Structure 1
């Protein structure tokens, strides 16, 4: 159902007030020497990675697909990007750019159906992974914690297609049927979304709530992030 798009900057301000890989080895040249063109190519890729940061709301790429990073998290040893399970399942290596020249990490696990979450383990130390959300407005949101959503709570999400959208939580513990099976324990909001927004982070103020896994009937459905953190023993970065 069409819905008037909320101005990105104003919507973000409103919710903020309410929520008051190891280093690459040099590629050998044809004569076995690692200098010259081969080394320069490696250095170029290394430099590109050093300038790359992956935040919540950013895209990662694998052959034949693109997934949105919901939030960055850590187990104290390794860092991970959280994303929908239906998106990361079946892919192994991920990149920060569509041309797939800057490697980021590898799929570390996923659950779908039943749940809808997956993990990508960062393996490239040159790629930064700050604990913030890229809202597309030029004003990132620092995420300081997570919480379970509450009916009536004001919130926003950032979709890869629709951008920053805001609304309220309509329902919790919702089940959605997919061709692959049923996903349980979701929550639903009035915030507008479009196909391709899956994975977009949902938050209230500086608190992470979950991420988009689908939409229908004028509502958007989300996987709560608190469940993902508990299952894998993670905390948000």
Structure 2
């Protein structure tokens, strides 16, 4: 099976040469109208853009979890493409082997609820259980919106040009360029982060997710905290 990274948010020249990147959108909601950052929202840096998968907290600070490739895009993140509303800074990057980055939120004028934005829906995230083979998983992304499917296997290994990632969730959910880094969820349960896959949302495909529980355990983080 030919795998490709679904990382259109990243303006990386090497991947662009492989034809895997989509151009960033030229339009965005006015930054002044935005009062909260949620999972599924896009953040911007001087070098590109990335999707927040989930908001998490260690009890005193709030963080956004992104895909691991986002750690190479920049260290300063903004709510708008003009880079006028600062949101946070990249604090941790783990890629390859795993694939995630933590952005520490610094703008106290915004809120960071334990919620995701899926189209017109705002979905409250209360828990992050271990994924189970056969259960439903949905994901949302800026390119194709929300799609659902089934977890087919756990502990999958996928080799990308930058290295090998282990312990992934394999699903039959579709995704396309631009959907990487989006949240994978089932109801109020956070399950994982879109990493990559094959196929498309016209004919179907395979998408891999970085599981969320190992990230939370490694950094003492949690979802489902009180509304901010």
TM-score category (smaller protein): 0.7 to 0.9
Matches within 5 A, 1:97-136: 97-136=80-119
3-state secondary structure, aligned to 1:86: helix
Match of 2:7 in 1: none
> Which of 189, 200, 205 lines up with 2:182 in the alignment?
200
CA distance in 2, matches of 1:145, 1:74: 12
Give 1:90 shift.
Answer: 4.7
Match of 2:208 in 1: 221
CA distance in 1, matches of 2:110, 2:217: 25
Match of 1:232 in 2: 219
Over alpha carbons, which structure has the higher Rg? 1
Match of 1:80 in 2: 63
Give 1:210 shift.
Answer: 0.4
Q: What residue ranges of structure 2 are gaps of 5+ in the alignment? A: 1-30, 200-204
3-state secondary structure, aligned to 2:118: coil
Quick check: 1:175 aligned with 2:157?
yes
3-state secondary structure, aligned to 1:124: coil
Structure 1 stretches of 4+ moved >2 Å: 48-52
Q: 2:45–2:73: 8 Å Cα contact kept in structure 1?
A: no
Structure ranking higher in helix proportion: 1
> Which of 122, 134, 145 lines up with 1:163 in the alignment?
145
Q: What residue ranges of structure 1 are gaps of 5+ in the alignment? A: 1-47
Give 1:89 shift.
Answer: 2.8
3-state secondary structure, aligned to 1:88: helix
CA distance in 2, matches of 1:50, 1:128: 13
Change in Cα spacing, 1:49 to 1:228, as seen in structure 2 (3 Å) is: farther
Give TM-score scaled by structure 1 length.
0.77
Q: 2:47–2:73: 8 Å Cα contact kept in structure 1?
A: no
Give 1:51 shift.
Answer: 4.1
Give 1:49 shift.
Answer: 6.0
Q: 2:48–2:73: 8 Å Cα contact kept in structure 1?
A: no
Give 1:139 shift.
Answer: 2.0
> Which of 172, 178, 190 lines up with 1:190 in the alignment?
172
Q: Deviations over 1:70-98 (max 9, x none)?
A: 00001111110000111223511000011
CA distance in 1, matches of 2:207, 2:93: 21
